[in-house]
Amino acid sequence: MEADSKPKKSGARLCCVCNQNRAALKRPKTLEQICRECFYAVFEEEIHQVILENQLFKPGERIAIGASGGKDSTVLAYVLSELNRRHNYGLDLFLLSVDEGITGYRDDSLETVKRNELQYGLPLKIVSYKDLYGWTMDEIVKMIGLKNNCTFCGVFRRQALDRGAALLKVDKVATGHNADDIAETVLLNILRGDIARLSRCTSIITGEDGPIPRCKPFKYTYEKEIVMYAYFKKLDYFSTECIYSPNAYRGFAREFIKDLERIRPRAILDIIKSGEDFRISTTTKMPEQGTCERCGYISSQVTDAFTLPDTL
């Protein structure tokens, strides 16, 4: 059904769930009129169901939440600790933050994470590029400019998360990737011819054969709803883009998805469903994911996080 554009009627409109309170918002996912309390309930319950149906966690596990200070990871930390309490998941939750050493961006968002540590009562571990590798991103960019800076940052961050997770002795890392992110990635992989990634990008758990598995509890959660939740709950988060990222290809997919959502909200979930259903043969030739010869962590075929600093 296409989005209703009729003007708002005057007079009280009731929440369609409890039929008692006045509706405070329209759910972006379903366009239902709903009150705040029922929105919190349905938002949290859906995530709880995703966790159960996909068996994301086991009792007694130590889980690191990848925390950038942005809205996705803040809401994830809040909701996970709430659900952990409410439904007795029996998890030990930690906040894990990576400090790339980007002035004016990361130093600000880290302040947010430090506040989250106090607000949510979750122990925080910060791993920094400086400590791990001896370099900050600012220093790297000074050396190599803005051409391949993301190459280094991406490899380092992934390693940093793995190392931080190992230092915390956790069993899994949970990240705040949401439905919009995953739908964008599915489209991007089609546009760019990356069949290998296309087959993996909708998996809710990845890296099970590596050092630390990662999971995405927000796989079916709409970005707009995360924002709405953070807004109404007045959660503390930091929102800007990394200062080193120029306009990029993902922007095309993002614009398109925004337009799609306007005329058919469920299209975001439909893209994810398509991604899950694509008939990709397991015998299709796939590029292999490499591991570093020296420490066994994931590295790309080309770069090795040990030798990169040597090249700088």
Partner 1 sequence: MACNSSTCNSSGCYKGYVEEEQPKPNTKAAVNGGNSCQNLCVKCKVNEPVCCGIGGENSRFCKDCFKNNLYGKFKQAVTYNAMITPPDKVLVAFSGGPSSRVVLQFVHEMQYKAQKNYDANKDKSLPVFGVGVAFIDESSTHSFTSQHIEKAIEDIRLIVSNLAPPSKELFVVPIESIFSSDGIDGKERLKELLDAVSDVTGKEDLLSHLRILLLQKIASENGYTRIVLGSCTSRIACHVISATVKGQGYSLSADIQYVDSRWEIPVVLPLRDCPAQELNTLCSLDGSLKIVELLNGPCSGINGLVSSFVKVLQEENPSRECTIVRTAGKLTPFHFNRVPEIHDSNVPSATRRHQKRYTLKPNGSLSSDSFCPICNSPLKKSNFPSSLRSHGSQQNPDLFASACSSCQFQILPKDPSLMEEFLSLLPQQMITKAKHGDQGNFSLLREQIQEFLFSDGENEI
38-77 binders of partner 1 (CB under 8 A): 70, 72
Residue 99 annotated in ligand binding: no
Rule CB under 8 A: choose which of 92, 260, 306, 309 binds partner 1: 260
Instruction: Assess 275 for contact with partner 1 (CB under 8 A).
Output: yes
Question: How, if at all, do strands 92-99 and 62-66 pair?
Answer: parallel
Choose, by CB under 8 A, the member of 267, 295, 306, 309 that binds partner 1.
267
**Measured from the CB of residue 242, what is the shortest distance to partner 1 in angstroms?**
7
Nearer CB in complex with partner 1: 2/12: 2
267-277 and 250-263 helices, crossing angle to 10° = 120
Pick from 16, 21, 18: which is nearest to 31 by CA?
A: 16
Asked whether position 147 contacts partner 1 by CB under 8 A, the answer is yes
Contact 122, 116 (CB under 8 A): yes
Helix (H) or strand (E) holding 139: helix 137-144
Stretch that binds partner 1, among 12-20, 103-111, 131-139, 236-244 (CB under 8 A): 236-244
Partners of residue 205 on adjacent β-strands: 215
Question: Is 290 marked as binding a ligand?
Answer: no
- In terms of CB distance, is 24 or 166 closer to partner 1? 166
Query: From residue 148, how far is each of 127, 141, 151, 303 by CA, in Å?
Result: 22, 9, 5, 12
Q: How far is the CB of 85 from partner 1 (least distance, A)?
A: 26
Is 65:37 a contact under the CB 8 Å cutoff? Answer: no
Select from 94-102, 104-112, 117-125, 176-184 the region that touches partner 1 (CB under 8 A): 176-184
Residue from 6, 9, 234, 279 in contact with partner 1 (CB under 8 A): 279
CB 132 within 8 A of CB 174: no
User: Which pairs count as long-range contacts for 192-199, CB under 8 Å and 24+ apart, including other chains?
Assistant: 192/249, 195/280, 195/284, 195/286, 196/284, 196/286, 196/287, 198/275, 198/278, 198/280, 199/278, 199/280, 199/284, 199/286
The answer to the question of whether 68 is labelled as a binding residue is yes
- Contacting residue, 169, 276, 294, 311, with partner 1 by CB under 8 A: 276
Rg (CA), the chain: 21
Instruction: By CB under 8 A, tell whether 148 contacts partner 1.
Output: yes
Stretch that binds partner 1, among 25-33, 95-103, 164-172, 251-259 (CB under 8 A): 251-259
* Residue choice 32, 92, 194, 236 for contact with partner 1 (CB under 8 A): 194
Q: Does 184 bind partner 1 (CB under 8 A)?
A: yes
Which residue numbers belong to the known binding site for ATP? 66-68, 72, 98, 176, 181
